[in-house]
Amino acid sequence: MVQKAERVAANRNNRGRPVGNVTRGTTNPNRMRRLDRWLAGPQAWRLRAAGNPLVIDLGYGASPATAVELFDRLGAVRADVRVCGIEIEPERVRAAKALERPGLSFLTGGFELPVQGRPVLVRAFNVLRQYEEADVRGIWQLVQGRLAPGGIFIDGTCDEIGRRVTWIALDAGGPLSLSMSVRFGSFELPSDIAERLPKALIHRNVPGERVHGLLQAMDRAWLESAPLASFGNRQRWTAMCRALLDGGWPVHDGPARWRLGELTVGWEAVAPDQ
């Protein structure tokens, strides 16, 4: 049996054939809202500065709902945004064609991104988790090579209705950050989100790895902030984030994002040991 990593590598040289494998295609409306809120918030400058406002929703699944939502949400940032949903399964693309409109299109393809021009944003959610960890670097590099200057690639994972969400942001040079976003009331400890870590990190949540250390530090800070629980989980999460920042963790953004149940740290805080 040919391993997935070998298939992905081999498909790069097969011109005309999409690179990748068909995913399960599971999706739900509003599943990506936490990521989209981040893209339209702290990262909106990338879209505003882009000479070509091209955005790719890669592997949108059996329903194009999340691609349509991405188009609508980013349209509030830049009215001339162009979103292209790409799926490796042709039938999914045929089903989505009825929803095309100016600025929103759908194509058959894979990680080779069969579009003209270089995208400023590529979103691949719940796609790489279905590959082997050995595939990840090669897939990242393939997509990174297509990015426009200042562009980013989002490799993310979430639960079925978007209550627990994580994503890695990469530019052409490599990974930049890990973000985690949760719905308050959906967890007992922050480390519960570990089961939704992206493929590059999910198997690294073991003692001695940086991501494990971060999750343990989050749990400690969460428990130490218990006296704030009477004021609500929003205040408690914010205190946890502040404690991490004060403790030397490379926490990005600030209270406005923390209050949303969001935490972003620099990649150096979680980069896997080789």
pTM of the model: 0.93
Residue 219 has pLDDT above 90, yes or no: yes
DSSP 3-state of 272: coil
Q: What is the pLDDT of residue 3?
A: 41
Q: What is the pLDDT of residue 14?
A: 52
pLDDT digits (tens, 9 = 90+) for 177-218: 999 999 999 999 999 999 999 999 999 999 999 999 999 999
Rounded average pLDDT over 50-78: 96
- Parallel, antiparallel, or unpaired for β 54-58 and 121-125? parallel
DSSP 3-state of 91: helix
Q: What is the pLDDT of residue 246?
A: 98
In the chain the domains, ranked by start, together with CATH numbers, are 4-202 (3.40.50)
Residue 141 to residue 111: CA distance in whole angstroms = 10
**Token pair of 128, please?**
């790489």
pLDDT digits (tens, 9 = 90+) for 24-36: 657 778 899 999 9
Contacts of 64 (CB under 8 A, 6+ apart): 85, 92, 95, 96, 99, 106
CB 169 within 8 A of CB 177: yes
Q: What is the DSSP letter of 2?
A: -
Q: What is the pLDDT of residue 273?
A: 86
Residue 167 to residue 149: CA distance in whole angstroms = 21
Kind and range of the H or E element at 205? none
Instruction: Dump the DSSP string for 100-167.
Output: -BTTEEEEE--TT---SS--SEEEEESSGGGS-HHHHHHHHHHHHTTPPTT-EEEEEEE-TTSSEEEE
Confidence of residue 4 (pLDDT cuts 50, 70, 90): low
